Amino acid sequence: MNMRRREFLERVSLGAIAASFLTGCSIFNAHSGFAKSQRLFFTSAGKTCLIHADGSGLEVLEFDVRDQVTWQPGPFLSDGKRVVFLSIEARRDGPGKPFEQYYTQTPTHLWLYDLDQKTLTEIAKKNREEVFYTPQLLLGDNRMLVQVPRSRLGQTLSMNLDGSDARPFTKIGEGLPYGFSVSPDHRRVAFHLASPQGYQIWTSDAEGANRKLVAAHSDHLYFGPSWSPDGEWLLFQDCLFKYDPGHEASDLCIARPDGSDFRRLTEGQPQWFGATYGNPAHRGSGSNMPAWTRDGEILFSRLLRPSRTAWEYQSNRPDTDHFNRDWKPELAVGGTEICRLNPRDGSVRRLTRSKPSTWDFRASESPDGKQMAFCRCSVGETPALWVMNAWGGEEKLLTRGLKDAGADHPRWLPIREEKAGQP
């Protein structure tokens, strides 16, 4: 099993490069159906950007910190204005070494950014244990889970935001845990574990104890658990990796947090899992995750049949860049469409369609449930950020990103309640 292939793909886009100029950005006029108060993060050219859902107010967050190559937003604190950021320095070895031999040796830093005050404060500095930290989950406003690969052996620690009082959440040697998700009541945590026995789904309490195995099979790569809005179900992907070493596609599954009532909601691997896009000048990739809606339905990227990307995975050579693909646009065919799946009756409603076909992915519902954000690209293009109504229609292009690097990983900002006497 290619255990290292996607170990950090959810948290890091290795195709991102540093850029400081805004070019080729298409912004549409305000539309009455799209609330200006709703904002999104997205990443482009190694930077984090903000934009309103009506296309206005585009802002590039410029952090004046030396030697940091890429910046990516993590979890929000409960006030909705402070967010944890991850910054990554340049890789240390130069090209050529296998991914697992250099990546965890690359220094990272964690920060707390205040959107209102525009202040950046480094956190997790006390008793620093490794050069490579990545934030996984906030357990509250004062404590977080941090991934700490120890000499390439994965472990997650629970620590205060300043890095003090670090406690093991997972064990060294059992595999690399990531893809964390907290239950709506904050009492249980779900994650997947990349172990020698395969990718498994687990839940635990907020201290890492009282574990329950949700899904595990040596022939299946179970990936990316997320809690349903009512906390009754976990949604995750199932990739048949032995036949699909590039992790191109998957099925959608749900199960109870204790592992009971396991159900496969799809057949035939219809979800576009390993999203790859762009061209040799601006290429990118990243695990494409299904997402819950507020009413308990599921958004996913359904592959048209037949479909094949322009980037062909090369399974017979070492992976030195966490991409390991060759550019073959002549082989590309098909695309994807964003769909809503009802897990109760299995019905599917198509939300996007394009002629000619495009690759639509990373769909997520706005906090008020009225809109969807998603990425769209054609063969050889970098992704653009779009929005549409929650049930499809009124598709609007927001931006193509910075300097032809595309706009990826859209994420809605929380709706913040206004306090009395404040604007």
Of the listed ranges 79-88, 142-151, 326-335, 349-358, the least confidently predicted one is: 142-151
pLDDT of residue 96: 65
- Helix, strand, coil shares of the chain as percentages rounded to 5? 0, 40, 55
CA–CA separation, 171 and 12 (whole Å): 23
Token pair 């940091």 in the structure block, residue: 68
Query: pLDDT band at 1, cuts 50/70/90?
Result: very low
Of the listed ranges 58-72, 91-105, 153-167, the least confidently predicted one is: 91-105
CA–CA separation, 153 and 175 (whole Å): 7
pLDDT of residue 283: 92
Helix (H) or strand (E) holding 50: strand 47-52
Query: pLDDT band at 35, cuts 50/70/90?
Result: very low
Of the listed ranges 58-72, 147-161, 247-261, 278-292, the least confidently predicted one is: 147-161
Q: Check pLDDT > 80 for residue 37.
A: no
> Which amino acid, one-letter code, is at 9?
L
Task: Look at 167 and 420; give whichever has higher pLDDT.
Answer: 167
CA–CA separation, 66 and 413 (whole Å): 27
CA–CA separation, 290 and 276 (whole Å): 16
**Token pair belonging to 89:** 């320095």
Of the listed ranges 18-27, 55-64, 301-310, the least confidently predicted one is: 18-27
| Segment 181-227, tens digit of pLDDT | 999 999 999 999 988 888 999 999 999 999 999 999 999 999 999 99
Query: pLDDT band at 27, cuts 50/70/90?
Result: very low
Report pTM.
0.87
pLDDT of residue 24: 29
- Three-state SS at 329: helix
Tally of helices (H runs) and strands (E runs) in the chain:
1, 33
